[in-house]
Structure 1
């Protein structure tokens, strides 16, 4: 399904980088979830993991935030399709656990945006899925 475009190119990039990833990096659960529609879908394609609806996405982020002391997303390269409300981003995810171990992932996310929130998120992860 195609959604009517609702955000400019700059606003789409702001949603992905400055709202979503910045909220995840702060472990701000409510701000992170505010980026999603209630019936949103988040899929990690490389592990066939699917979270449908905000309640399932909330549970996934609670577990993710509890698993790492530090979460940093950096080195973004974005491609924006503002005419269709689509975002693609390549980036590095740097995760540090309580024992000081670092996990580096080179990921790509694809978003479908409806109005001003994520309707669908598809994640391609370079390593083991940390979003279970």
Structure 2
């Protein structure tokens, strides 16, 4: 199902790369979760994992944030379907654990954005996120 688009190309890119990944990198849980609708779906396609709803997505991020001292998402290459509220981004995920080990992943995410519902002042959010990860799944 498509939704009426509400964000421009630049706003879709900012939602994905600045708002979402900026808050993931800062380990800001509430701001990260604010990027998702309550019943959002988050799938790691390359690992056949699925997290449905904010409670499952929160648990996934709690584990992810606890596993790495530093999280960096960088070098974004975005493709946007402004008319349908979709964005794809290829990027590097650089993860540093407490023992000093660095994990580099070349990932691609696909987002489907749904506008806010009547009475919801937070704006458009992710309805679906599909992740393709180059290495082992770090989002379990």
Q: Same fold (TM over 0.5)?
A: yes
- Structure 2: segments with no counterpart, 5+ residues: 116-123
Q: Which runs of 4+ in 1 moved over 3 A?
A: none
Distance 2:61 2:6 in 1: 26
- Structure 1 gap segments, 5+ residues each: none
The C-alpha deviation readout for 1:77-132, integer Å capped at 9, x for no partner, is 00011100000000000000000000000000000000110000000000000000
Q: How far apart are residue 6 of structure 1 and its match?
A: 1.2
Residue 124 (structure 1) aligned to one of 110, 113, 132: 132
Shift of 1:4: 1.1
Q: CA RMSD in A?
A: 0.4
Equivalent-residue separation in structure 2 for 1:41 and 1:3 (angstroms):
16
The separation in 2 between residues aligned to 1:96 and 1:70, in whole angstroms, is 5
Q: What corresponds to 1:51 in structure 2? A: 51
